[in-house]
Structure 1
Amino acid sequence: MKVLITGANGQVGQALVNKLQGKAELLAVTREQLDITNEAKVKAQVLAFLPDVIINAAAYTAVDKAEQEQELAHQINAAGPEFLAKAAESINAALLHISTDYVFAGDKQDNYNELDTTNPQGVYGATKLAGELAVAAYCQKHIILRTAWVFYENGTNFVKTMLRLGKERDSLGIVGDQFGGPTYAGDIADALIQIAQKITSGYTTNYGIYHFSGMPHVNWFEFASVIFDAAVKQQVIDKKPQLNAITTADFPTPAKRPANSKLNCEKIQREFGITPSNWQLALDRIEDY
């Protein structure tokens, strides 16, 4: 299996490289090594390597900053995936593309499934949706994997932020009215690799959109509480700070966050036998964060 990974220094990108090294013919590129917003360079790289599968883990993920850097967010999240999709199609490769819960408005009462109407509320979500549409339009063999609340040992994420703040402060206000499924990047990588292996082994694949995130669903306040319990138990911090649940209105941000990021993951389980990410298990090694 020949695999091209873009965004190799991101959370999912690093997890993919760690898991695929020695198990596949691998070309993993960072933004410095391949700028996916340059169509000519994308085409040349894909034609030179001729991958069976391209996994696009490159993304502009600075949700608030995207409100000001709209053009840059669009280039990375929409134009880049379009160029990768066209290049993949030209050599009959499959494109596995990571997307987000932010394509939804976040106002549904129940979990979001793949057929629910998209309605992004900010630039980040809008550019990610444009990327989804481009991938679907230009590459027949595509998998769009929507996920949420990603964390990993490396990179910037909620777990690392909580651990840092927990060492600095005695009390913290954490948003308690936004719900979702924390998702360990290593589990996202495992899901993508499993799909890639099935595609390359000739498995009849139902291409399209799939949801993959962690269970059980929690709010940020609940997630923080579990993080600190694990950190105290593993002696990463001395004591759990006082946690106070606050509302989204109490913590204004330039970009609107979805109140409901809960994704229904039944389709990927049915089609590929992939179960939701066990995010609590990933916190068993919290000293690595």
Structure 2
Amino acid sequence: MKKYKYLITGANGQVGSQLVAQLQGKAEILATDRNALDITDRASVLQIVNEFRPDVIINAAAYTAVDKAESEANLAHAINCTGAENLAIAANEVGAIILHISTDYVFDGKGEKPYRETDPVAPQSVYGKTKLAGELAVQAACARHIILRTAWVFNEHGNNFIKTMIRLGKQRDTLGIVGDQFGSPTYAGDIANALILISEQLMNNNQNFGVYHFSGSPYVSWFEFACEIFTQAQQQQILSQLPVLNKIATEDYPTPAFRPAHSRLDCGKIQAVFGIQPSDWQRALTDLSKYNN
């Protein structure tokens, strides 16, 4: 059986590290981080891609500091748009498939129902605008593309909400958690698995390129997510005593960047086309010792 060649960018990130781990032994991998490949440098991207000649490029590199992006718009655009475009141009040159990770922040967050791929986009933050620009650049540069929008990503590696909750739970008696933003926690390992499954099907003549949503189920607020984390933390004896959780409004926790109130993603299309089920984020909380550092 042929081992396909995968170029992974952002290999040290939450999704990238999972991609590398899951592809180990199954594929020939070139895993790159920002030191090995500056995706904003088109000449470097073209050189690496032409030398390695991957079958698949998975772009897991991104500028994800949502609040910082408000004051670093040029850098966010360079990574999230120009970098994505460079990879798509290179993929097109060598006949590779490109899979690019995007975000729920491309929507305005005012919708009443879970967002479908065909719903109008209207990003309200610099981060969201640069991610949408990246989507459009990838679509324009390479016909053989997958845009995978996801949300509320967490993983054992890197900074995320779960680690923050456990750390704060050890330090404080009470915590205020936003209760009026609703979305889908998504385990990074499940995102990686979805990307690999999609790439394998595309290589086996499934030609359903385009935009897809993949996120967790069930939908919750940040407050509800925190409640579940602390319930599990107590059951698993990660925390001996739990803080009192208070539900607060978005306006009580001002941030530089706008946060969508409703960023629930409809995952019906990816289930229908590729047979991929939503991420079971509750299952991913069954061993919180991995997040306790």
* TM beyond 0.5: yes
- The match for 1:225 among 215, 224, 227 is 227
The root-mean-square deviation of aligned C-alpha atoms, in Å, is 0.5
- The match for 1:214 among 191, 216, 226 is 216
Distance in 2, Cα, partners of 1:83 & 1:17: 21
**2:85 is the alignment partner of 1:97:** no
Asked if 1 retains the 8 angstrom alpha-carbon contact of 2:108 and 2:121, the reply is: yes
Distance in 1, Cα, partners of 2:143 & 2:202: 13
- The match for 1:268 among 258, 267, 270 is 270
- The match for 2:87 among 72, 84, 87 is 84
| Structure 2 partner of 1:245 | 247
Alignment of 1:25-174 (within 5 A): 25-174=28-177
Distance in 1, Cα, partners of 2:198 & 2:208: 11
**Cα distance per residue 1:55-107 (max 9 Å; x no partner):** 00000000000000000000000000000000000011000000000000000
Gaps of 5+ in 2: none
Task: Please report how far the alpha carbon of residue 188 of structure 1 lies from its aligned counterpart in structure 2 after TM superposition.
Answer: 0.1
Task: Please report how far the alpha carbon of residue 203 of structure 1 lies from its aligned counterpart in structure 2 after TM superposition.
Answer: 2.5
* Residue aligned with 1:261, SS: coil
**2:206 is the alignment partner of 1:204:** yes
Identity across matched positions, percent: 63
Return the letter of the residue paired with 1:19: Q
Asked if 1 retains the 8 angstrom alpha-carbon contact of 2:202 and 2:208, the reply is: no
Return the letter of the residue paired with 2:278: P
* Residue aligned with 2:101, SS: strand
Stretch of structure 1 that moved more, 261-270 or 191-200: 191-200
The size of the alignment, in residue pairs, is: 288
Distance in 2, Cα, partners of 1:14 & 1:251: 31
Task: Please report how far the alpha carbon of residue 240 of structure 1 lies from its aligned counterpart in structure 2 after TM superposition.
Answer: 1.7
| Structure 2 partner of 1:257 | 259
Distance in 2, Cα, partners of 1:255 & 1:130: 17
Task: Please report how far the alpha carbon of residue 198 of structure 1 lies from its aligned counterpart in structure 2 after TM superposition.
Answer: 1.0
Task: Please report how far the alpha carbon of residue 196 of structure 1 lies from its aligned counterpart in structure 2 after TM superposition.
Answer: 1.0
**Structure 1 runs (4+) greater than 3 angstroms displaced:** none
Gaps of 5+ in 1: none
Distance in 1, Cα, partners of 2:217 & 2:19: 21
Asked if 1 retains the 8 angstrom alpha-carbon contact of 2:37 and 2:45, the reply is: yes
Distance in 2, Cα, partners of 1:278 & 1:45: 36
Q: TM-score normalised to the size of structure 2? A: 0.98
| Structure 1 partner of 2:192 | 189
* Residue aligned with 2:102, SS: strand
* Residue aligned with 2:282, SS: helix
| Structure 2 partner of 1:13 | 16
Task: Please report how far the alpha carbon of residue 199 of structure 1 lies from its aligned counterpart in structure 2 after TM superposition.
Answer: 1.5
Task: Please report how far the alpha carbon of residue 26 of structure 1 lies from its aligned counterpart in structure 2 after TM superposition.
Answer: 0.5
Distance in 2, Cα, partners of 1:165 & 1:126: 31
Distance in 1, Cα, partners of 2:242 & 2:118: 41
* Residue aligned with 1:244, SS: strand
Distance in 2, Cα, partners of 1:38 & 1:224: 40
Return the letter of the residue paired with 1:23: K
Q: TM-score normalised to the size of structure 1? A: 0.99
Return the letter of the residue paired with 2:103: T
